[in-house]
Amino acid sequence: MKVVVVGGTSLIGSRVIEQLKQKGHEAIAAAPNTGVNTITGEGLKEAMAGAQVVIDLANSPSFEDRAALKFFEISGRNLLVAEAAAGVRHHVALSIVGTDRTPDNGYFRAKVAQEKLIEASGIPYTIIRSTQFMEFLRGIAASSPNENRVRMGVIPK
Ligand SMILES: NC(=O)c1ccc[n+]([C@@H]2O[C@H](COP(=O)([O-])OP(=O)(O)OC[C@H]3O[C@@H](n4cnc5c(N)ncnc54)[C@H](OP(=O)(O)O)[C@@H]3O)[C@@H](O)[C@H]2O)c1
């Protein structure tokens, strides 16, 4: 089966590509570094041709509130239009646990916008909400204003 992994060069994407290939699938890494850009549309049509499943693991180059929202809205729209035109059968996206319960976080608002576009697209989909990857721990700790104390946020129930 041809599976296009948008953001297939990302931290998680490269691992997904590896596992799909191990299972015998034709796994295509679609990212600016491989000539596919969901913002400009470059290479999208060609990448989607013959694909049955698209896994969206692209990430905004900027985590600033407005930039992230713009990225996920434009990227999501362009991608879903290209998928519909190519007859892609299933769309998979990776979101984050608690996005809809943390509206004061701009990046989370952008992920909610991405989820809404998918839900309205008419393409069968799976949205997976994962917790933050362990690889981010060092960065979260380093962003603490107090070098000797690390504060971890808790999402309210
Ligand atoms: N990291 C986490 O803890 C976590 C947790 C839950 C969910 N997620 C979600 O998982 C996804 C991947 O996160 P990550 O941390 O693995 O990403 P990442 O390592 O920051 O990689 C970003 C990916 O997005 C691609 N990309 C950037 N601009 C693009 C564009 N215009 N068109 C197509 N692809 C583009 C990059 O391609 P190039 O290599 O060509 O630049 C790269 O493959 C994101 O949607 C994120 O919200 C992440």
Cα(154) to centroid of ligand 1, in Å?
A: 24
Q: Are 49 and 36 in contact (CB under 8 A)?
A: no
Q: Which residue has the higher pLDDT, 154 or 49?
A: 49
Cα(148) to centroid of ligand 1, in Å?
A: 30
Give the separation between CA 148 and CA 90, rounded to whole angstroms. Answer: 47
- In this structure, the residues whose C-beta lies within 6 A of any atom of ligand 1 are 6-7, 9-13, 31-33, 37-39, 57-59, 61, 75, 94, 96, 111, 130, 132-133, 136
Q: For residue 151, is pLDDT > 80? A: no
Q: For residue 153, is pLDDT > 70? A: no
Which of 18, 100, 13, 24 shows the shortest CA–CA distance to 54? 13
Give the separation between CA 9 and CA 76, rounded to whole angstroms. Answer: 18
pLDDT digits (tens, 9 = 90+) for 80-119: 999 999 999 999 999 999 999 988 899 999 999 999 999 9
- Taking residues 59-76, what's their average pLDDT? 97
Q: Which residue has the higher pLDDT, 74 or 132?
A: 74
pLDDT at 132: 83
pLDDT at 133: 86
> How would you classify residue 155: left for phi > 0, otherwise alpha for psi between -120 and 50, otherwise beta?
beta
pLDDT at 150: 73
pLDDT digits (tens, 9 = 90+) for 11-65: 999 999 999 999 999 999 999 999 999 999 999 999 999 999 999 999 999 999 9
Q: For residue 155, is pLDDT > 70? A: no
Q: What is the pTM of this model?
A: 0.93
